[in-house]
Amino acid sequence: MAGNVLILGIFAFLPPYWPQFENKTTLGKRKKTYISIIVFLTVVFLIPQNLKMPVKEATKSDYNPKSFWFYPWGKSVTHKGVDIFAKKGTEIKSSTSGLVLYSGEINMGGKIVLVLGPKWRLHYYAHLNELKTSSFSYVNNDSTIGTVGASGNAVGKSPHLHYSILTMVPYVWRIDSDRQGWKKMFYLDPIEYFE
């Protein structure tokens, strides 16, 4: 859903294109604007992801390989990410480089960090114990962004990092007949990138 909104947001900034109402100069300027927007969108798409496991020293045995799209999963119906278990206070590093869009507290996720990374993908880190980054700062895959905890709707559960990857460009070919299968065009399986 967040992906949808952000894409609509981008298109809302594009000026309307009505050549019959314009003279050559504004037409030229507009063309340049379009080209630079397309170049920018493409460049971000081409940045290599170099994704790293975000929880320090975590291995395969710290998450369930079937964690992604697990059903039933309470209010969310299916589990759209992976839960990586670790001791409370374990360091969390950003899995990719990117721009921190939000670092703060929300209801379900508790203390969360949202990073816009390469390929127009959003990286969502939830249930943190401590936040160690701030909104609108740049991070790379060596930046500490927080520590593992059990905040939000994970209160009382074992400390873990909930990690989701969302693509803002819908991958429609990934839709399948699973429960909420249409949402698979936005939510990617982080486990695929750990291996």
Binding footprint of Zn ion on the chain (CB under 5 A): 83, 162
The least CB distance from residue 160 to Zn ion, in Å, is 7
Q: How far apart are CA 112 and CA 146, in angstroms?
A: 9
- Name the residue number minimizing CB distance to Zn ion: 162
Q: Are 113 and 164 in contact (CB under 8 A)?
A: no
Decide whether 162 or 183 has the Cβ nearer to Zn ion.
Answer: 162
Facing residues of 114 across strands?
A: 102, 124
Q: Which amino acid makes up residue 18?
A: W
The least CB distance from residue 17 to Zn ion, in Å, is 43
Decide whether 55 or 97 has the Cβ nearer to Zn ion.
Answer: 55
The least CB distance from residue 97 to Zn ion, in Å, is 24
Three-state DSSP state, 72: coil
Facing residues of 110 across strands?
A: 106
Decide whether 83 or 188 has the Cβ nearer to Zn ion.
Answer: 83
Q: Are 72 and 41 in contact (CB under 8 A)?
A: no
User: Structure tokens of 85?
Assistant: 């278990």
The least CB distance from residue 82 to Zn ion, in Å, is 7
The least CB distance from residue 70 to Zn ion, in Å, is 9
Report the Cα 89 to chain-centroid distance in Å.
Answer: 22
Q: How far apart are the first and last CA of the chain?
A: 27
Decide whether 68 or 120 has the Cβ nearer to Zn ion.
Answer: 68
Decide whether 123 or 162 has the Cβ nearer to Zn ion.
Answer: 162
Largest separation between any pair of C-alpha atoms in the chain? 65
